[in-house]
Amino acid sequence: MRGVFVFILGSVLSLSGRAAVDTTLFSLASPYHTIRSHLYYLQPESYRPDLAAQTLPIKERKTAIRAAIQLKQILDARGLYVDLSKIPDDPNYRDSATGKHIYVLFKELPEVFVTKSGRRWQYAEETVKALPRLMRETFPWGTHRLVEYFAMEGGGRVVLGLWVWQWIGLAILLLLSIVLYYVFYYVLHQVLRYWAARHLSDHVARVYLRPLTGIAIWLLLLYLWRLFFPVLQLPIAVTNVFLKLLDIAYPIVWTVLAYRMVEMVIARLWERVRQSESVMDDQLMPLFARLVKIVVVSIGGFFVLRALGVDVLTLLAGVSIGGIAVALAAQETLQHVIGTIIIFLDRPFRIGETIATADFEGVVERVGFRSTQIRRFDNSIIYVPNGTLINSLINNWDRRQYRRWKTTFGLTYDTPPALIQRFVDGVKEIIRRHPDTRKDYYMVRFVEMADYSLNVMMVVYILGGNDWDREMKARHEILSEVLQMAESIGVSFAFPTQTVEVVKLDTPPKDSH
């Protein structure tokens, strides 16, 4: 009530010192006349709030004046410009959707509309009831109370097109922004620096944290201006442009903030990747970083487009339809791309590991966006599409804990059973002594009487499942010791031989005649 009193008092004092206002333009004959009467008689050059108040169905004069002013303040603060040329001037106008005598000013504010009562058009009862809520929504955090203290006349003086209190309000808002920038920057920087000392390296904190602090402060300042700028009640054209710029700047700053945060997280992950032994992580990180950045920029771009007034849902529908068409045209390529993602997620192999499928075997050298590069044992390189690779049965030799070695020693047939057992025990002892063999499971058995040899089978597991050279070295050492042991106990190894026994037949007696 104090704000209304100040406003009415200022209005009376200012009206006493100005020329009489033309009241012949006042009319409630149509939606056009009613809305024009409401807005025209609240302009500084034609200020008659008592006439503007008659456009609302409120009998109490002071309450009606306050409601008329609040309604205009809501429209101005939201940057909603009323184009009188588009408002119908038909006294019997009916809404095409409902068939009723109503006219809605803006689709953004369906609560604000005029309706016909008898021969007069006035703002609806629903509009009057919605004013308190609209004021709180338009001027949140109690700023609607500030607006109530300022009338259209302000301090009674206009300087360069603005009331004196508006210039003072702009100066206060600018000064407050500068002060809060440095205060928030210091406080937030100290908090983030304390957090970074525990979770980030010095390099990451120095390169990424300082810019991140400044961007976060800009978000707070944008919110501050979005909160208090409507209170200044600047001309509708200025408010409209400024609010549109704020709506565009907000998603842009959010996108930059998210982008910088992603860069900081990726830098931290790079530090961990460089400490790991996996080579595939080094190839995964650039792909992951690029993908996350594209997602952040794309989402931010959609919000910016929405702020510019673009129908994002229609655009998304178009993009989806286009994406389906592209997916159908490039189905095979997408299959390989999905295969790349699956390889990075499941990790069936790593760079440098030896794998084998039904069609090839070799060492993995690089995992690309579409195919995997494998060097075969003949030193040639093959490029296997990732979609094909994930559908194959992959044998990863280097994931073995041990390398299984199975071989057979063929002893000569003249070796007695006791010497065979001694040979078997000697081979077992060699396996137990060797540092690179599995001691809990091995096998040495006399298993077969072959065509030309008595076969002793040996199955042994060699440590270092992904070290082929270590296996060859262990084989060399074990076989050398077996040969020395066999020679020392007098065991000979058989080789393919055949014994031909010639049976001499007796000569039959000659026939005598």
Cβ atoms 224, 177 nearer than 8 A: yes
Q: What is the mean pLDDT of residues 446-459?
A: 92
Across 251-268, b (16+ Cβ under 10 Å) vs e yields: bbbbbbbbbbebbbebbb
Least confident of 143-157, 201-215, 352-366: 143-157
Least confident of 356-360, 397-401, 404-408: 397-401
Is residue 427 scored above 80 in pLDDT? yes
Report how far residue 340's alpha carbon sits from residue 280's, in angstroms, rounded to the nearest whole number.
Answer: 12
Least confident of 188-202, 217-231, 256-270, 492-506: 188-202
Report how far residue 262's alpha carbon sits from residue 256's, in angstroms, rounded to the nearest whole number.
Answer: 10
The model's confidence at residue 2, banded by pLDDT at 50, 70 and 90, is very low
Q: What is the mean pLDDT of the chain?
A: 78
**How, if at all, do strands 102-106 and 402-411 pair?**
unpaired
- Give, to the nearest 10 degrees, the angle between helix 125-138 and helix 61-77: 50
The model's confidence at residue 20, banded by pLDDT at 50, 70 and 90, is low
Is residue 247 scored above 50 in pLDDT? yes
Contacts of 131 (CB under 8 A, 6+ apart): 67, 70, 71, 74
Percentage of the residues of the chain whose pLDDT score is greater than 90:
14
Is residue 87 scored above 80 in pLDDT? yes
Three-state secondary structure along 345-364? HHCCCCCCCEEECCCCEEEE
Farthest CA pair distance, the chain:
179
Q: What is the mean pLDDT of residues 237-253?
A: 81
Q: What DSSP string runs through 187-201? A: HHHHHHHHHHHHHS-
Q: What is the mean pLDDT of residues 343-368?
A: 80
The pLDDT tens digits for 152-206 are 444 456 566 666 666 777 788 888 888 887 887 777 777 767 676 666 666 666 6
Q: What is the mean pLDDT of residues 433-450?
A: 91
Alpha carbon separation from 373 to 222, 351, 392 (Å, rounded)? 50, 10, 15
Least confident of 38-47, 216-225, 286-295: 286-295
Instruction: State both tokens at 86.
Output: 């588009």
Least confident of 51-60, 219-228, 323-332, 439-448: 323-332
Report how far residue 129's alpha carbon sits from residue 145's, in angstroms, rounded to the nearest whole number.
Answer: 18
Domain locations in the chain?
Answer: 2-156, 163-327, 332-398, 401-489
3-state secondary structure of 42: coil
Backbone angles phi, psi at 363, to 5 degrees: -105, 130
Residue 376: Cβ within 10 Å count: 12
Report how far residue 136's alpha carbon sits from residue 139's, in angstroms, rounded to the nearest whole number.
Answer: 5
Is residue 1 scored above 50 in pLDDT? no
Higher pLDDT pick, 230 / 363: 363
Q: What is the mean pLDDT of residues 403-432?
A: 92
Nearest to 262 by CA among 296, 217, 218, 310: 296
The pLDDT tens digits for 45-73 are 788 888 888 898 888 888 888 888 888 88
Higher pLDDT pick, 511 / 343: 343
Report how far residue 50's alpha carbon sits from residue 333's, in angstroms, rounded to the nearest whole number.
Answer: 72
Query: What pLDDT is recorded for position 255?
Result: 86
How remote is the C-alpha of 462 from its chain's centroid? 46
Q: Does domain 332-398 have CATH number 3.90.190.20?
A: no
Nearest to 257 by CA among 219, 203, 308: 219
3-state secondary structure of 411: strand
Is residue 486 scored above 90 in pLDDT? yes
Report how far residue 298's alpha carbon sits from residue 255's, in angstroms, rounded to the nearest whole number.
Answer: 9
Contacts of 7 (CB under 8 A, 6+ apart): 65, 66, 69, 148, 150, 151, 152, 153
What single-letter DSSP state applies at residue 46?
G
Q: What is the CA radius of gyration of the chain?
A: 45
Report how far residue 437's alpha carbon sits from residue 434's, in angstroms, rounded to the nearest whole number.
Answer: 6
Is residue 454 scored above 90 in pLDDT? yes
Q: Which CATH number fits domain 401-489: 3.40.50.150, 3.60.15.10, 3.20.20.220, 3.30.70.100?
A: 3.30.70.100
Is residue 415 scored above 50 in pLDDT? yes
3-state secondary structure of 456: strand
Q: What DSSP string runs through 4-17? A: HHHHHHHHHHHHHT
Is residue 499 scored above 90 in pLDDT? no
3-state secondary structure of 67: helix
Q: What is the mean pLDDT of residues 230-258?
A: 79
Q: Which residues pair with 363 in a beta bridge?
A: 354, 375
Report how far residue 30's alpha carbon sits from residue 107's, in angstroms, rounded to the nearest whole number.
Answer: 20
Is residue 423 scored above 90 in pLDDT? yes
The position carrying tokens 């009193």 is: 5
The model's confidence at residue 333, banded by pLDDT at 50, 70 and 90, is low
Residue 350: Cβ within 10 Å count: 19
Is residue 276 scored above 80 in pLDDT? no
Nearest to 355 by CA among 379, 368, 332, 374: 374
Query: What pLDDT is recorded for position 220?
Result: 81
Is residue 446 scored above 90 in pLDDT? yes
Strands lying side by side in the sheet with 395-396: 381-385, 371-376, 361-367, 354-356, 395-396
Q: What is the mean pLDDT of residues 370-377?
A: 85
Report how far residue 189's alpha carbon sits from residue 215's, in angstroms, rounded to the nearest whole number.
Answer: 11
3-state secondary structure of 488: helix
Instruction: Kindly tell me the burial class for residue 114, based on how many C-beta atoms sit within 10 Å of its own C-beta (0-12, 13-18, 19 or more).
Output: buried
Is residue 77 scored above 60 in pLDDT? yes
Residue 404: Cβ within 10 Å count: 12
Higher pLDDT pick, 77 / 374: 374
Q: What is the mean pLDDT of residues 491-506?
A: 74
The model's confidence at residue 455, banded by pLDDT at 50, 70 and 90, is very high
